[in-house]
Amino acid sequence: MAALGQGRHLYVSAPVNALVEGLYRENTTIAEILTQGDFGIGTFNDLDGEMVVCDGVVYQLRSDGEAYAVTPETRTPFACVTFFSPYSEEEITTPLDHAGLMALFDRLLPSRNMLYAIRIDGLFDYVRTRSVPRQDAYRPLVEVAREQPEFAFSPVEGTLVGFWTPHFMESVAVPGYHLHFLTADKRHGGHLLECRPRHIRIAIQHVPELRLGLPMTLDFLTADLSRDTRDDLHEAEH
Ligand code: ZN
């Protein structure tokens, strides 16, 4: 449970720029991540799958499409979490296509300049995800993303976990909507590419503060992070 004063900030363990440049190993542990939030997304060291943090439990969705349990000592090069306490919840009983869902989000988020945590539970006619395959360091993310296995589910019950991030924060976190999917049986999922919801409940929370970790690793401290990674990030995440 979130104590008073929690849920006011998004914690980002390292700027996403570093990940785009191939820094796939940092020292931040899952135990540390869970002190900063019970809800969020990310990846694991060596880019070993997609992370979903839901109700305080961390799931690792590897490139074989399966979910694995995560130990507190497991490390992450990039994770975004908050303590989730939604201010609005809405039930949608009309089937939507992916564009329809994005348009609905656009109506539900009052400002483009705020961080929002978004949770969707329900039944989907179709969900398509991907999970990144384990990598050696320094291979640019955009190259890795071209080879990632995709998974399709239809129909499926599950949960989407993620965020809206303003575009002016693009070196810190993935700008726009970034959602990861976890099936209701908690066995499968991945980074969301497309979905068609049938009957869902959407919960939204605005997050008016950002807390950014700057990893104390030699790799991070000596990396050149001055390049504009916008196009690479856009290609890797969509
Ligand atoms: Zn993702």
Query: What secondary structure does DSSP assign to 16-35, as a single string?
Result: HHHHHTT-----EEHHHHHH
User: Does residue 4 belong to any structural domain of this protein?
Assistant: no
Q: Which CATH number goes with the domain that contains 161?
A: 3.30.1330.80
| Longest Cα separation, the chain | 51
User: Does residue 52 belong to any structural domain of this protein?
Assistant: yes
Q: How many CB atoms lie within 10 A of CB 152?
A: 11
Query: If you measure from the C-alpha of residue 141 to the centroid of ligand 1, how many angstroms do you get, rounded to a whole number?
Result: 12
Query: If you measure from the C-alpha of residue 173 to the centroid of ligand 1, how many angstroms do you get, rounded to a whole number?
Result: 10
| Spatial distance between the Cα atoms of 221 and 9, rounded to a whole number of angstroms | 25
User: Does residue 3 belong to any structural domain of this protein?
Assistant: no
Structural domain span for residue 150? 9-237
Nearest to 92 by CA among 164, 198, 203: 198
- pTM for this model (two decimals): 0.95
Query: If you measure from the C-alpha of residue 118 to the centroid of ligand 1, how many angstroms do you get, rounded to a whole number?
Result: 14
pLDDT in tens, the chain (238 residues): 444 555 589 999 999 999 999 999 999 999 999 999 999 999 999 999 999 999 999 999 999 989 999 999 999 999 999 999 999 999 999 999 999 999 999 999 999 999 999 999 999 999 999 998 998 878 888 888 888 899 999 999 999 999 999 999 999 999 999 999 999 999 999 999 999 999 999 999 999 999 999 999 999 999 999 999 989 998 888 8
State whether residue 46 is helix, strand or coil. Answer: helix
Domain count, the chain: 1
User: Does residue 228 belong to any structural domain of this protein?
Assistant: yes
